[in-house]
């Protein structure tokens, strides 16, 4: 069912890179379609948005009424409401701890320098399918950061509003919701709602659309694309722990990536067999089968150092260290979106109510970026107030650099202040 790469093979690095590049290259989708959608919505606004919603979702109405929202929420199971409330409280508490202080510095010449966190004015959040947890993960940090206006885009499911997403939005105080999905939703947030920044994960089309609108609006400092997991296991790891984590990631979508890394050859056949048995019991078995066939992988390593090397190269969105000897790995792993440690820490629970964020870097972007956090919703602005004595004391040195760089107007601007009485 899943391909196997044996690291005893001298060409294993080439094989691994070919496997990873298949998703990272973006060739899994026809990007020309995404470009066309974004260009059309940028020019023709609502008319184009409705055209694509009709085409892809048979949706003719992109703005639900308050009455429709209330009726949808009213029908939601009380257990789901309570679960959302519980998740909200934990996510809010953990993200509140991420607040950073403004910096103020006054030197001996009474020059005052400040560095302040200023909230972004208006953001858009893309929430795929029926995922209220994604709304919580994106909106709560924005609210804590002080963002005043938040627009949520969420597609209809079988022509219906998603009650759980709407309830989560209400819980978070979201006032504006648009019922659309895919690349057209990103286009709408950028060019119709005209937000300043867009966050939220999505499929390949959504990820590509966000890349195309970047520059006109901001996006997260990561690629929040199709989901990924890397599970590290040994011959003492519970077999069901391994297979349920792999299957759980694969059920997100056909382009989800599930990787098992081990140095124990004897568990490979057991895992393959257990995957086949458990797959038959699952409601999304067709999606899982396609995902594992295209983006499933087992990597057999020679030793611990090679396991670390492989993990840092894969740079997974989610990493599970489901082994008793996890301590010897932790300090050496520096490329991962989040790391679940030990046998009681399944990745799946972090998607909901642990408190950490589940909007994480994918497609190898964990090599240079972090998961969604408060800093994504701040601009950091410097404030400089120089005194008369201060500009005189530091100005002369600045003039030397301005002259060296042949920036005469810079020099004159500084000297003008220095001579002022």
Q: Is the predicted pLDDT of residue 141 greater than 90, yes or no?
A: yes
Quick one: CA dihedral 173, 179, 183, 186, positive or negative? Answer: negative
pLDDT category, 419, cuts 50, 70, 90?
A: confident
The residue among 380, 383, 381, 378 whose CA lies nearest residue 121 is: 378
The residue among 207, 208, 161 whose CA lies nearest residue 180 is: 161
- Hey, which residues does 112 pair with through a beta bridge? 106, 385
The stretch 370-374 carries a mean pLDDT of 95
The stretch 242-254 carries a mean pLDDT of 94
pLDDT at 143: 98
Which residue ranges form the domains of the chain, and what is each CATH number?
31-221+374-379 (3.40.50.1980), 226-367 (3.40.50.1980), 389-418 (no CATH)
Please tell me the least confidently modeled range out of 71-75, 136-140, 206-210: 206-210
Strand, helix or coil for residue 264: coil
Q: Are 259 and 299 in contact (CB under 8 A)?
A: yes
Q: Where are the beta strands (DSSP E) in 19-111?
A: 103-106
pLDDT at 202: 87
Question: Model confidence over 77-89: pLDDT tens digits?
Answer: 999 999 999 999 9
Question: Model confidence over 290-335: pLDDT tens digits?
Answer: 999 999 999 999 999 999 999 999 999 999 999 989 999 999 999 9
Q: What are phi and psi of 217, to 5 degrees?
A: -135, 165
The residue among 239, 242, 213, 208 whose CA lies nearest residue 223 is: 208
Contacts of 313 (CB under 8 A, 6+ apart): 13, 16, 17, 20, 335
Q: What are phi and psi of 325, to 5 degrees?
A: -95, 30
Q: Are 401 and 133 in contact (CB under 8 A)?
A: no
Contacts of 351 (CB under 8 A, 6+ apart): 133, 358
Contacts of 279 (CB under 8 A, 6+ apart): 247, 285, 288, 289
pLDDT at 203: 86
Active site residues: 317-318
Q: Are 407 and 401 in contact (CB under 8 A)?
A: no
pLDDT at 27: 62
Percent of the chain exceeding pLDDT 90 equals 90
How large is the angle between the packed helices 239-250 and 266-279, nearest 10 degrees?
Answer: 60
Instruction: Report the distance separating Cα 317 and Cα 69, nearest Å.
Output: 33
Q: Where are the beta strands (DSSP E) in 70-212?
A: 103-106, 112-119, 122-126, 149-153, 176-178, 197-199
pLDDT at 169: 98
Instruction: Report the distance separating Cα 376 and Cα 396, nearest Å.
Output: 38
pTM across the whole model: 0.92
pLDDT category, 18, cuts 50, 70, 90?
A: very high
CA angle 66/72/74 to nearest 5° reads 100
Q: Is the predicted pLDDT of residue 222 greater than 70, yes or no?
A: yes
């Amino acid at each position: 069912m899943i391909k196997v790469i044996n690291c005893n093979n001298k060409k294993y690095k080439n094989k691994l890179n070919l496997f990873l590049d298949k998703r990272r290259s973006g060739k899994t989708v026809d990007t020309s379609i995404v470009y066309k959608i974004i260009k059309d919505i940028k020019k023709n606004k609502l008319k184009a948005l409705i055209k694509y919603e009709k085409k892809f979702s048979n949706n003719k109405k992109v703005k639900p009424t308050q009455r429709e929202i209330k009726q949808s929420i009213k029908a939601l199971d009380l257990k789901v409401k309570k679960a959302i409330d519980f998740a909200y409280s934990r996510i809010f508490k953990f993200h509140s701890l991420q607040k950073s202080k403004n910096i103020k510095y006054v030197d001996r010449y009474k020059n005052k320098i400040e560095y302040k966190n200023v909230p972004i004015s208006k953001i858009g959040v893309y929430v795929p399918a029926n995922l209220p947890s994604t709304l919580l993960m994106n909106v709560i940090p924005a609210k804590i950061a002080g963002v005043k206006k938040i627009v949520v885009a969420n597609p209809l499911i079988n022509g219906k509003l998603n009650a759980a997403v709407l309830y989560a939005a209400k819980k978070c105080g979201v006032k504006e919701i648009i019922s659309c999905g895919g690349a057209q939703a990103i286009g709408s947030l950028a060019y119709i709602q005209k937000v300043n920044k867009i966050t939220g994960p999505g499929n390949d089309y959504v990820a590509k659309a966000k890349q195309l609108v970047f520059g006109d609006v901001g996006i997260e400092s990561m690629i929040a694309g199709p989901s990924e997991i890397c599970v590290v296991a040994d011959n003492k790891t519970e077999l069901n722990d391994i297979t349920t984590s792999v299957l759980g990631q694969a059920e997100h979508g056909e382009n989800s990536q599930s990787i098992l890394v081990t140095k124990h050859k004897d568990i490979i056949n057991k895992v393959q067999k257990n995957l086949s048995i458990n797959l038959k019991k699952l409601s999304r078995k067709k999606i899982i089968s396609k995902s594992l066939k295209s983006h499933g992988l087992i990597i057999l390593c020679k030793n611990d150092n090679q396991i670390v090397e492989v993990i840092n190269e894969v740079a997974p969105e989610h990493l599970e260290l489901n082994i008793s000897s996890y301590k010897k790995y932790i300090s050496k792993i520096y490329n991962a979106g989040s790391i679940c440690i030990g046998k009681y820490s399944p990745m799946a629970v972090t998607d909901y109510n642990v408190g950490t964020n589940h909007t994480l870097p994918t497609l190898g972007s964990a090599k240079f970026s972090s998961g969604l956090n408060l800093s994504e919703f701040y601009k950091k602005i410097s404030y400089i107030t120089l005194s008369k004595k201060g500009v005189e004391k530091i100005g002369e040195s600045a003039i030397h650099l301005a002259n060296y760089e042949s920036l005469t107007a810079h020099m004159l601007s500084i000297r003008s202040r220095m001579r002022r009485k």
